[in-house]
Structure 1
Amino acid sequence: MTVKSAIVINPSKVLDMDERRRELFGAVADAGWPEPLWLETTPEDPGCGMARAAAAEGVEVVLVCGGDGTVMAVAGELAGTDVAVALIPSGTGNLLATNLGIPRDVAESVAVAITGKRRRIDVGEVDGCGIFTVMAGMGFDAAMVGDTPDSAKARFGWAAYVATGLRNLTRRRASVRIRLDGGKWLHRRASTVLVANVGRLQGGLPLLPDAEPDDGCLDVAVLTPRHVGDWLRLAGGVLLRRGNDTHGLETFRAQSVEVQAARDEPRELDGDVIAPARQLTARVRPGALVVCVPAD
């Protein structure tokens, strides 16, 4: 079957652009597809304009060669369309790819785009900030992301977050209130609140093991540890998959989530820091994005 495709690639995530281009073009040619569009992101445009250009050309599959931030930018433009997104993991976290079982090997991930199946997944949408495919966060996680240098991420991968995470363990908890699907406000003192579309974090950590990207809901994790000992107990509970029995962790599920804090808090979408604020309001867009996933 002949399929019109495009490649949106983030040059900052690839060591040898010429080699990557030969590899991708060769795999597409071997499948009998026409030569794809080649669209490079820029510091000013992380992929939004490239995705729009691909859609305007009638492309059926967009291969995204970058990290979760590049995927988020492309997905923000293609959500609500029938254009499929194929993930070619090249970033630090690659959490959407990890949660969907997409291999990190370039040839294997391209094979998923060509021979795999199409799956409609949900995306989350944050008021005034755009969409996310993995998760939105407010508090500790966003502070950790913001404090981790790009150079460290490039050198050490997801492990680069460990050092900055340790430095932020003693960060003062915030007074927050949370409302799910317009219900009653829940009051907590939390280190972080995560609104997630998928459940696994860096290193495959199963924070929300029951989360599914196509269940029409967002999963919410409220982390409330007070000190380092609490963080260690929380980590142990997560690894043992104790769910809401985990000390310092509460989980919820909803289609819309409102989080309000008593002070400005750092925030992030899919690992990209956004402006600090006292509020994070998210809702699910069920089945909005078509992705290529392994056939099995």
Structure 2
Amino acid sequence: MLHTGAVDGGDDKRPVTADNHTPRSAVVVNPVKVTDLDDFRRTVDGALAAAGWPEPTWYETTVEDPGRGQAAAAVEAGAEVVFACGGDGTVMACVTALAGTDVALAVLPQGTGNLLAANLGLSNDLAAGLEVAVERGMRRLDVGAVGDQCFAVMAGMGFDAQMLDSTSETTKRRIGWPAYLVGAAKHLRDRPMRVSIRIDDGPPLRRRARSVLIANVGRLQGGVRLLTDAEPDDGWLDVAVLTPRTLGHWLAMGWAVLRRRDSVPRMEVLRGRKVVITSNRAQPRQLDGDLIEPGRSLKAEIRPESLWLCVPRPERHPDLSVDAGAAAERGERLVEEARRE
């Protein structure tokens, strides 16, 4: 079942197909993110049963292990689909465990700022996440690797990680993803970092940047699309170098992003398969919206077509979130059917 290195994207190897009516599944849940775990479990078990799936195996994350070990145990036990239920840290841990295997990841977001869920158009909609999985829309995605960890959406160094670090959990619970704007406002006037950026075997590029993002997919918190050309399975990492220096620069850049302009002022876009960022001083860093230890460098490389992901149909659409709204409506009917039984 396990692969090493890159794998091809042949549909003949997909873990759950239309003729497999009883796929084995597991749920990796962060109990801290779920208000009523017993009710949550009844809802998930009931919806999967209504769809004809057998009862999943449940694994709870811990402070010491946010999901990687649990997802690996699910793979070892024969799961064909692993549901990641939690915030960015839980999802990223499951991505790391499942990359390179023929086991699919399904996202049931329970955090307030889940980056992968935002790119799937799922928000915190449990019904939509369940429906996307049971409809068997699947796509093999690239992942980025930073050391022994993998990310599905993006890694970052500088302002983006500062914003995450300055956003309180209380505010996120109260107002959702707009809480990140509050965290961002605290750092708009911070001094830039001096960075060297090496793409593949090219010469180092030197910049004074506020943030450098290494992206596999282009959406940020709240579904805002930063990189319009980023594709999740094209074998490339898209690198955004943000160089605003004044509040006016930030406003111009934000307006262009919101308007989905092809050219964004104060943002340089590069592309490569291996990216090394080196700063003149230690910087906060993040993977898929989850903070990692600060450091002076961030090294990422692409692992093409390494992860099976449950996505809304049609699964080959360039936008991973296409049909997510309709899937949510169908999912509500599935959940209601489960509750009647």
TM range (shorter): over 0.9
Q: Is this contact kept in 2: 1:7–1:62, CA < 8 A?
A: yes
Q: Matched residues in 1 for 2:193 and 2:313: separation?
A: 44
Compute the displacement of 1:72 (Å).
Answer: 0.6
Amino acid at match of 1:280: L
Q: Is this contact kept in 2: 1:85–1:292, CA < 8 A?
A: yes
Which of 173, 179, 183 aligns to 2:198? It is 179
Deviations 1:232-275 (A, max 9, x none): 011112122233x3211111111111111111111111111111
Q: Matched residues in 2 for 1:46 and 1:37: separation?
A: 17
Match in the other structure for 1:122: 142
The answer as to 2:302 corresponding to 1:288 is: no
Structure 2: unaligned runs, 5 residues or longer: 1-20, 315-341
Q: Is this contact kept in 1: 2:85–2:107, CA < 8 A?
A: yes
Q: Matched residues in 1 for 2:265 and 2:123: separation?
A: 33
Amino acid at match of 1:134: V
Bigger shift: residues 167-176 or 94-103: 94-103
Bigger shift: residues 56-65 or 103-112: 103-112
Cα root mean square deviation, aligned: 1.3
Q: Matched residues in 1 for 2:70 and 2:92: separation?
A: 13
Deviations 1:169-204 (A, max 9, x none): 011101111111120111110000000111011122
Structure 1: unaligned runs, 5 residues or longer: none
Aligned residues: 294
Q: Is this contact kept in 2: 1:102–1:293, CA < 8 A?
A: no
Q: Please state whether the residue corresponding to 2:140 is helix, strand or coil.
A: strand
Match in the other structure for 1:269: 287
Bigger shift: residues 245-254 or 276-285: 245-254
Which of 263, 266, 269 aligns to 1:251? It is 269
Q: Is this contact kept in 2: 1:176–1:189, CA < 8 A?
A: yes
Which of 189, 214, 217 aligns to 1:198? It is 217
Q: Please state whether the residue corresponding to 1:158 is helix, strand or coil.
A: coil
Q: Matched residues in 1 for 2:191 and 2:248: separation?
A: 15
The answer as to 2:26 corresponding to 1:6 is: yes
Q: Matched residues in 2 for 1:271 and 1:188: separation?
A: 24
Compute the displacement of 1:38 (Å).
Answer: 0.9
Amino acid at match of 2:95: A
Match in the other structure for 2:180: 161
Q: Which runs of 4+ in 1 moved over 4 A?
A: none
Match in the other structure for 2:44: 24
Q: Is this contact kept in 2: 1:139–1:192, CA < 8 A?
A: yes
Match in the other structure for 1:136: 155
The structure where strand makes up a greater share of residues is: 1
Amino acid at match of 1:109: G
Match in the other structure for 1:57: 77
Q: Matched residues in 1 for 2:265 and 2:29: separation?
A: 41
Q: Matched residues in 2 for 1:68 and 1:212: separation?
A: 20
Identity between Structure 1 and Structure 2 (%): 55
Amino acid at match of 1:82: D
Q: Is this contact kept in 1: 2:114–2:123, CA < 8 A?
A: no
Which of 38, 49, 61 aligns to 1:41? It is 61
Deviations 1:137-191 (A, max 9, x none): 1001111111212222222221111111001001110111111112011111000
Q: Matched residues in 2 for 1:136 and 1:66: separation?
A: 19
Q: Matched residues in 1 for 2:254 and 2:238: separation?
A: 18
Q: Matched residues in 2 for 1:80 and 1:160: separation?
A: 34
How do residues 42-121 of structure 1 correspond to structure 2 at under 5 angstroms? 42-102=62-122, 104-121=124-141
Compute the displacement of 1:103 (Å).
Answer: 5.9
Q: Is this contact kept in 2: 1:103–1:109, CA < 8 A?
A: no
Q: Matched residues in 2 for 1:203 and 1:111: separation?
A: 21
